[in-house]
Amino acid sequence: MPLSEQEQRLLDEMERNLYRNDADFVAAVSGRGRPNYRSIVLGVLLAVVGIGGLIAGVALQLLVVGIIGFAVMFVGVLLAITPSKRGATAAQAGPAARPATSRGAEHSGFMDRLNERWDRRQDGSD
């Protein structure tokens, strides 16, 4: 079911206000931050070493070497695909922290308007 013109305008306004007021939240949710290439490269290298250890353990028929190789491979893959929290918080704490504090009153006004609209819709449907 398509949105009406008024609902589409309201949705666009909410989206613009979200991007303007909560840029750090949008960046955290959307995951558009810069990837940490160091952890990706390190994770891929660990995964390759782990695969080598796993193959060596199978070829030599040593269970311990195979298990250690699998564990190293698993840790490498996790390291490569897990986003870095340190890089994301450092990037968000810089410019995004200052505007959020200066626009605190505007943000609460926006939320108050949304709450009022919600209450009006709920009263109208009962």
Average pLDDT over residues 66-86: 88
Report which of 81, 3, 87, 86 is spatially closest to residue 42, judged by C-alpha positions.
81
- pLDDT at position 77 over 80: yes
Measure the CA–CA gap between 49 and 52, rounded to whole angstroms.
5
Of 64 and 103, the structure prediction assigns the larger pLDDT to 64
Q: Taking the model in full, what pTM does it have? A: 0.46
Mean pLDDT score across all residues of the chain: 77
Of 121 and 96, the structure prediction assigns the larger pLDDT to 121
- pLDDT at position 42 over 50: yes
Average pLDDT over residues 87-116: 56
- pLDDT at position 103 over 60: no
